């Protein structure tokens, strides 16, 4: 693109005066010294053989190989969204050459049109100013003379009959999204350490909202929690209860008449079911992504070691990014079957970098049980069998530690495992028929149950294998 106006009338070229006669001179090996004379406003002159150097000509100047490039604006390299303001005119003169005028102070250049004297350049400048003053009139005159250059009627075709109606039947992605979005909120927590953001779902009409513990963890220390609803209005919220063991929390706003989402039965979920993830990824509120259930019973350990959450997770390929945490995973019936909580990290990464098609959600049955406890008591419980596991064991199954750890015995006296006959050094091979190969798998499988439930463990003691029935014991978060 050039700076020339295609609609401006052509500028008349000034008449070029005939060259002045010059006296022949003897060729010399050194350039002639310039003599005083009036400064020329004319641009660079073309050299001819046998002519003498003019007073205003620079000796042995080189032509620029190419015009200097204009500076270009560089986009910022960081930030999720970038706005680029309109470029303002650069006050720095460029080094581009022009056919009609050149700076008398710049380097001499060659011209293919012959020499232009001071009077000629003045005429060109005057004509240029006149063209600028009457440019609008000249442009219209040119358009009148060239009818084909004038734009045609810009009215575009309209859809026949007002357009084709798009079918969005019940159960379509659009219908499910329209039903779910009003019940999904964005959450912001402001603490001294910074701002945390996430998502949540309306749990009860009386202002109860379910989210992840890691989203509102700082609220326990007095941080301010703000909830933004789908219609844009905001409300401050208070923490009702939270548990790091399941990475779940309930907050409440002083508002009634809200539209809750329904927690479905996650036990009915099968691999391949269509799902929608709803939330505020990267702060982009009311975002919906789609995918399928990729796997079930994925053992996921999330959070710091001191407060790690063990999740018997639903895996999905629906796009989940930072900020989706606490939002619902919805099935094709519009029911919540999971709470989006974690995404996989690539090898060698220490922080979440974004969706790679491996997202994980807390099953809705677990969310229901924990949320009820948090609303009723402010705390939640989880089941245990009463053993310490050996993390260094590399063989088949999971081995019970042989020695005490930090003062705790490997098998809790009178605990569920002790009453079932499990001893230090025994290897647990499966739980309810599901093989386990690492400690996290066994812990996650147990946490998916409720206190008081009975599980069947396949246990190996030395060379002998046996099945034992263990009734799970209850423990409160923080113990």
Residue 247 appears among annotated catalytic residues: yes
201 near 225, Cβ under 8 Å? no
Burial of residue 231 (number of CB atoms within 10 Å: 0-12, 13-18, 19+) = exposed
CA dist 189 → 36, 239, 322, 327 (Å): 78, 11, 14, 15
Distance separating alpha carbons of residues 312 and 269, to the nearest angstrom: 13
Continuous segment of H or E residues that includes residue 11:
none
Continuous segment of H or E residues that includes residue 446:
helix 439-447
SS (H, E, C) 81-147: CCCCCCCCCCCCCCCCCCCCCCCCCCCCCCCCCCCCCHHHHHHHHHHHHHHHHCHHHHHHHHHHHCH
Distance separating alpha carbons of residues 354 and 188, to the nearest angstrom: 19
339 near 327, Cβ under 8 Å? yes
Distance separating alpha carbons of residues 252 and 207, to the nearest angstrom: 5
Helix axes 118-133, 135-145, angle to 10 degrees: 80
Burial of residue 290 (number of CB atoms within 10 Å: 0-12, 13-18, 19+) = middle
CA 59, chain centre distance (Å): 60
Q: Which of 293, 258, 121 is nearest to 185 (CA)?
A: 258
Residue 369 appears among annotated catalytic residues: no
Which of 214, 266, 364, 440 does the annotation list as catalytic? 214
Distance separating alpha carbons of residues 267 and 58, to the nearest angstrom: 90
Which of 199, 245, 247, 426 does the annotation list as catalytic? 247
Distance separating alpha carbons of residues 279 and 285, to the nearest angstrom: 6
Residue located via tokens 């018997």? 312
Residue 325 appears among annotated catalytic residues: yes
Continuous segment of H or E residues that includes residue 416:
helix 416-419
451 near 472, Cβ under 8 Å? yes
Distance separating alpha carbons of residues 195 and 176, to the nearest angstrom: 31
Cross-strand pairs, 310: 301
Residue located via tokens 């093989």? 435
Which of 186, 294, 325, 401 does the annotation list as catalytic? 325
Q: What is the dihedral of CA 29, 30, 31, 33, to 10 degrees?
A: -140
Distance separating alpha carbons of residues 20 and 299, to the nearest angstrom: 95
247 near 302, Cβ under 8 Å? yes
Active site (catalytic) residues:
214, 247, 325
């Amino acid at each position: 693109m050039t700076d020339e106006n295609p609609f401006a009338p052509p500028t008349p070229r000034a008449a070029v005066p005939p060259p002045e006669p010059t006296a022949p001179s003897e060729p010399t090996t050194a350039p002639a010294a310039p003599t005083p004379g009036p400064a020329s406003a004319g641009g660079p002159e073309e050299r001819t053989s046998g002519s003498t150097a003019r007073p205003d000509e620079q000796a042995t100047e080189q032509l620029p190989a190419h015009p200097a490039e204009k500076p270009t604006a560089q986009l910022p390299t960081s930030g999720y969204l970038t706005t680029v303001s309109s470029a303002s005119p650069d006050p720095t003169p460029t080094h581009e050459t022009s056919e009609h005028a050149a700076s008398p102070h710049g380097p001499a250049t060659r011209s293919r049109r012959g020499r232009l004297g001071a009077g000629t350049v003045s005429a060109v400048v005057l004509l240029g100013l006149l063209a600028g003053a009457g440019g609008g009139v000249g442009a219209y005159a040119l358009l009148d003379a060239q009818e084909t250059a004038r734009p045609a009627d810009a009215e575009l075709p309209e859809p026949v009959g007002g357009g084709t109606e798009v079918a969005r039947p019940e159960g379509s992605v659009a219908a499910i999204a329209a039903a779910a979005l009003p019940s999904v909120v964005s959450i912001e927590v402001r603490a001294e350490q910074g701002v945390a953001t996430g998502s949540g779902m309306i749990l009860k009409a009386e202002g109860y909202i379910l989210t992840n513990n890691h989203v509102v963890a700082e609220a326990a220390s007095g941080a301010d929690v703000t909830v933004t609803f789908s219609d844009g209005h905001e409300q401050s919220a208070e923490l009702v209860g939270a548990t790091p063991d399941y990475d779940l929390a309930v907050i409440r706003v002083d508002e009634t008449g809200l539209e809750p989402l329904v927690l479905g039965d996650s036990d009915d979920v099968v691999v391949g079911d269509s799902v929608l993830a709803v939330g505020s990824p990267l702060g982009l509120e009311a975002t919906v992504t789609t995918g399928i259930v990729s796997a079930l019973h994925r053992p996921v350990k999330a959070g710091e070691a001191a407060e790690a959450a063990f999740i018997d997770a639903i895996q999905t390929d629906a796009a989940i990014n930072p900020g989706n945490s606490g939002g619902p995973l919805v099935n094709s019936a519009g029911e919540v079957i999971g709470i989006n909580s974690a995404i996989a990290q690539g090898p060698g990464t220490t922080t979440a970098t974004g969706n790679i098609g491996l997202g994980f959600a807390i099953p809705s049955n677990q969310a229901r049980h924990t949320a009820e406890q948090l609303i009723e008591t402010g705390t939640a419980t989880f089941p245990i069998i009463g053993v310490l596991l050996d993390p260094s064991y590399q063989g088949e199954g999971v081995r019970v530690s042989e020695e005490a750890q930090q003062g705790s015995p490997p098998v809790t006296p009178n605990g569920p495992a002790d009453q079932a006959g499990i001893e230090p050094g025994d290897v647990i091979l499966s739980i309810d028929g599901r093989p386990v190969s690492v400690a996290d798998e066994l812990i996650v499988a147990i946490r998916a149950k409720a206190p008081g439930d009975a599980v069947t463990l396949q246990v190996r003691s030395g060379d002998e294998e046996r099945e034992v029935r263990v009734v799970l014991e209850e423990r409160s978060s923080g113990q």
